[in-house]
Structure 1
């Protein structure tokens, strides 16, 4: 989806959510209503006991440092930012890349994760190595994501958009798409765990991206969550969670996302 298309969709989501909202979220002042799309394991996924993942554990740790509890609210990815603006969620954590376009409609904490965009193709495909090779190809993406935005810049590309992560890979496996543009770490996890088979990541990461916890613009919760996240990192809680979920040491993080640097 182009930046213009993303903005138009966000405005529509805001209008619809505002019309439906009757009470502000987190009305007791001690509970954070946190929006997420639980279709991106290992960061967020649906389990019998509720939503689980690295993002969930990190959000609970951040909230605990701030003296708050968390209730997670599952939403389609492209409805999350609108929920913040409409006041039906206090915060959002869902592998949300910090971009200048998104920073116009929501506010972000300091980055909590470093990743990047990758091209995934079928294992037998030896023709696609970079975005140049995607010209005039069919590309599957998750709607509202950075991958969706990037796909629309590729000359002649036909972009198929889906509401959940697994659907885009299924289109690739079934031969209805030539490639998927998606977050590299999510794809690597799906391949490592066998959740997705018959595909591979081709080439290097296309981008260097940082994710943040999002809140409504000018929300007083921004400073609280930002300080709590800094404390979670300085105390080593973040590193412990990272090692638990990814079996590796965390990558260095800036205090401000490079995409938002002056």
Structure 2
């Protein structure tokens, strides 16, 4: 009887140990491993993008570098298509998502999000032929207009919501959408404000027009698996710390006030 009791007790201890390991969060796993693996889609200027040397750089990437430094681990970026970010996280291909992801109610059913590290909104780029004809998103909601957006983004969702009468065409990358606009294949392109502002600076896009006032409110945050509250707590404290010590402002100015980095982007 005693032997049987001890066996059951030992089994319970072993089971508890394995369950406890299973509950280990992304941050704890990264520290144990020595590497923080982050899924990202490097096509969102200036948050994550590829430079001429093939390195992934940007504002959010710098935040992740600071995060890794604070953890005492290496940062490993895992580039995937934007539509593969959530499936990749759920399949354990990486620890978290750091890819300019907007917090939405639908995504929040699948993920937990950190506090927002920046607030953006959707804006509109227009072909020059629309000069004087379009001054708001409502003006584009007509069957004759062709709208470009990027697959799986909140820009695509905003176009579907606000421009149901127009014809929507979605592309894998924002660069393709802008090029369609430059070529006159579409009338407007919808994407996050920071990307559109920087796209207008490029010589090949300077003929485009812009409605610069955002028509949506979109907090960007880091995404983690549901229930990973210890990791969320650590990341939120990290974001608060860099906001207080000046790190956040320094990185923000580097990517949103200066434009020297544009010459290094492919």
Is structure 2 residue 96 aligned with structure 1 residue 91? yes
- 2:224 pairs, out of 215, 218, 223, with 215
- 1:118 pairs, out of 123, 127, 147, with 123
Counterparts of 2:137 and 2:107 in 1: how far apart (Å)? 23
Counterparts of 1:161 and 1:128 in 2: how far apart (Å)? 21
Counterparts of 2:201 and 2:224 in 1: how far apart (Å)? 32
Aligned positions of 1:50-129 closer than 5 A: 50-126=55-131, 127-129=133-135
- 1:146 pairs, out of 142, 150, 154, with 154
Aligned positions of 1:163-182 closer than 5 A: 163-182=172-191
Counterparts of 1:169 and 1:177 in 2: how far apart (Å)? 9
Counterparts of 2:103 and 2:81 in 1: how far apart (Å)? 18
Counterparts of 1:239 and 1:193 in 2: how far apart (Å)? 25
Label 1:30 to 1:225 Cα distance change in 2 as closer, same or farther (>3 A). farther
The structure with more radius of gyration: 2
Counterparts of 1:195 and 1:165 in 2: how far apart (Å)? 15
The alignment's TM-score, normalised by the length of structure 2, stands at 0.78
The alignment's TM-score, normalised by the length of structure 1, stands at 0.79
Indicate if the aligned counterparts of 1:36 and 1:77 stay in contact, CA closer than 8 A.
yes
Runs of 5+ consecutive residues of structure 2 not aligned to the other structure: 1-28, 259-266
TM-superposition CA deviations, 1:226-246 (whole Å, max 9, x none): 222222222111111111112
Which protein is richer in helix relative to its size?
2
1:43 counterpart SS class: coil
Label 1:27 to 1:66 Cα distance change in 2 as closer, same or farther (>3 A). closer
Indicate if the aligned counterparts of 1:108 and 1:214 stay in contact, CA closer than 8 A.
yes
Q: How much is the aligned-residue C-alpha RMSD, in angstroms?
A: 1.9
Counterparts of 1:172 and 1:218 in 2: how far apart (Å)? 42
Equivalent residue number for residue 39 of structure 1? 43
Is structure 2 residue 141 aligned with structure 1 residue 131? no
Counterparts of 1:109 and 1:68 in 2: how far apart (Å)? 20
TM-superposition CA deviations, 1:159-213 (whole Å, max 9, x none): 1111111000111111111111111111101212436332121252112221101
1:93 counterpart SS class: strand
1:211 counterpart SS class: strand
Label 1:67 to 1:224 Cα distance change in 2 as closer, same or farther (>3 A). farther
TM-superposition CA deviations, 1:18-76 (whole Å, max 9, x none): xxxxxxx9595321111111111221111215101111111111222233321011111
Equivalent residue number for residue 183 of structure 1? 192
Runs of 5+ consecutive residues of structure 1 not aligned to the other structure: 1-24, 249-262
Aligned residue pairs total 224
